[in-house]
């Protein structure tokens, strides 16, 4: 019963966060000095056409009515129409959101595979060369801007070594000779389901560079957090007893100590996942990745406020859902966490 009450409280808090973000974002977008109706019909439109566009977009109504109408449409799965492209925003989100999520998922794999083992080794071999290397590596990753790192990786792996493509989700040759059948919008999944392995390898190859750049910050955070908790856990009495019983290092470090040390790292990884969705913007621009960040930048440059508000809502939804999941997961893993 306590778990159910906890989940209900977290859901109510998530609803309030979504409501607050929607109100703030919608109000700021409306206060920007621009005329969405003029953008919708174009610069050569007549005054009566602009007025018709204002009525169609609901801009002739009071601000609170515009907000209530917009939120009612959102609850029905309708995010409105882009004033730049005249396309339903939900159709654009079905294209750009999977591209960003695919990039983020692969980036999270790099973060977990690289960050957590290095953090464990750094904490296990405190003040040794492995620890010094991991700490320096973590500081460099946390301190380096992702867009600058993406540029450096392009210079190294594209221009100097010629190993990786410079950008995009798929090469032009594969798009022509082995076109990808759109099923889920996730190219790795779609190519695997269709058995299109040539396209699968090409998509995976295109993901390496931008996902590594995007993962750099999370790798640094996970190393530092895992190291700090490992150092604390390895000083506990049950670890001393485990050493005395003759257990192997792998068992003590990765099966006993890491189980208790991983909880704070999971929280960091969850928050980093949401940060990567919003922080992918710069990497997507540098690497010509057709994702949510590129879509948002275009909307900001063209003052396409329905798109800006919709993207902000999408990112907020991910944020509150991931936080809710992490809180519940942390309470399940660690019995010391209260469900109050």
- Residue 54, pLDDT > 90, answer no
Average pLDDT, the chain: 82
Expressed in angstroms, the distance from the first to the final Cα of the chain is 11
Residues 169 and 257 in one domain: yes
pLDDT for the residue numbered 340: 52
What is the greatest pairwise CA distance in the chain?
Answer: 85
Residues 147 and 246 in one domain: yes
Residues 252 and 327 in one domain: no
More confident residue, 137 or 256: 137
Q: Rounded distance, CA 151 to CA 288, Å? A: 12
Residues 118 and 224 in one domain: yes
> Is 297 a domain residue?
no
The tens digit of pLDDT for each residue in 176-190 reads 888 888 888 899 998
Q: What is the mean pLDDT of residues 274-291?
A: 84
Q: What is the mean pLDDT of residues 227-255?
A: 78
Residues 129 and 249 in one domain: yes
Q: What is the mean pLDDT of residues 32-37?
A: 70
Q: Rounded distance, CA 54 to CA 50, Å? A: 6
Query: DSSP letters of 210-257?
Result: HHHHHHHHHHHHHHHHHHHHHHHHTTSHHHHHHHHTT--HHIIIIIII
Residues 98 and 227 in one domain: yes
pLDDT for the residue numbered 207: 93
**CA 195 → CA 180, 187, 198, 202, distances in Å?**
10, 12, 9, 13
Would you call 181 exposed, middle or buried from its count of C-beta atoms within 10 A (0-12, 13-18, 19+)? exposed
The tens digit of pLDDT for each residue in 140-161 reads 988 888 888 989 999 988 888 8
Residue with tokens 């990808």: 180
The tens digit of pLDDT for each residue in 319-331 reads 888 777 777 776 6
pLDDT for the residue numbered 184: 87
């Amino acid at each position: 019963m306590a778990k159910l009450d906890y989940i209900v409280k977290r859901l109510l808090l998530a609803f309030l966060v979504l409501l607050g973000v929607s109100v703030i974002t919608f109000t700021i977008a409306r206060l920007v000095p621009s005329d969405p109706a003029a953008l919708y019909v174009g610069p050569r439109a007549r005054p009566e056409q602009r007025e018709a566009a204002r009525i169609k977009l609901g801009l002739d109504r009071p601000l609170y009515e515009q907000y209530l109408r917009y939120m009612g449409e959102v609850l029905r799965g309708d995010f409105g129409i882009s004033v730049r492209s005249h396309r339903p925003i939900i159709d654009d989100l079905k294209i750009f959101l999977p591209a960003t999520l695919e990039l983020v998922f692969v980036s999270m794999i790099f973060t977990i595979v690289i960050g957590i083992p290095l953090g464990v080794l750094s904490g296990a071999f405190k003040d040794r060369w492995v620890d010094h290397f991991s700490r320096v590596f973590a500081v460099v990753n946390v301190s380096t801007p992702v867009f600058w790192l993406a540029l450096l990786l392009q210079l190294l792996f594209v221009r100097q070594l010629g190993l990786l493509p410079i950008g995009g989700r798929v090469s032009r040759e594969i798009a022509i000779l082995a076109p990808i059948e759109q099923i889920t919008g996730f190219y790795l999944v779609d190519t695997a389901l269709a058995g299109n392995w040539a396209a699968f390898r090409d998509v995976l190859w295109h993901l390496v560079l931008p996902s590594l750049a995007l993962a750099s910050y999370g790798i640094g955070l996970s190393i530092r957090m895992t190291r700090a908790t490992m150092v604390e856990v390895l000083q506990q009495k049950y670890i001393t007893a485990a050493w005395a019983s003759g257990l192997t290092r792998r068992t003590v470090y990765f099966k006993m100590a890491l189980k208790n040390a991983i909880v704070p790292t999971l929280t960091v990884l969850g928050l980093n996942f949401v940060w990567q969705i919003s922080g992918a913007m710069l990497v997507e621009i540098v690497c010509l990745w057709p994702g949510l960040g590129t879509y948002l930048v275009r909307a900001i440059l063209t003052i396409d406020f329905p798109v800006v508000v919709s993207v902000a809502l999408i990112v907020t939804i991910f944020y509150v859902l991931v936080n809710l999941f992490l809180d519940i997961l942390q309470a399940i893993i660690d019995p010391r966490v209260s469900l109050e």
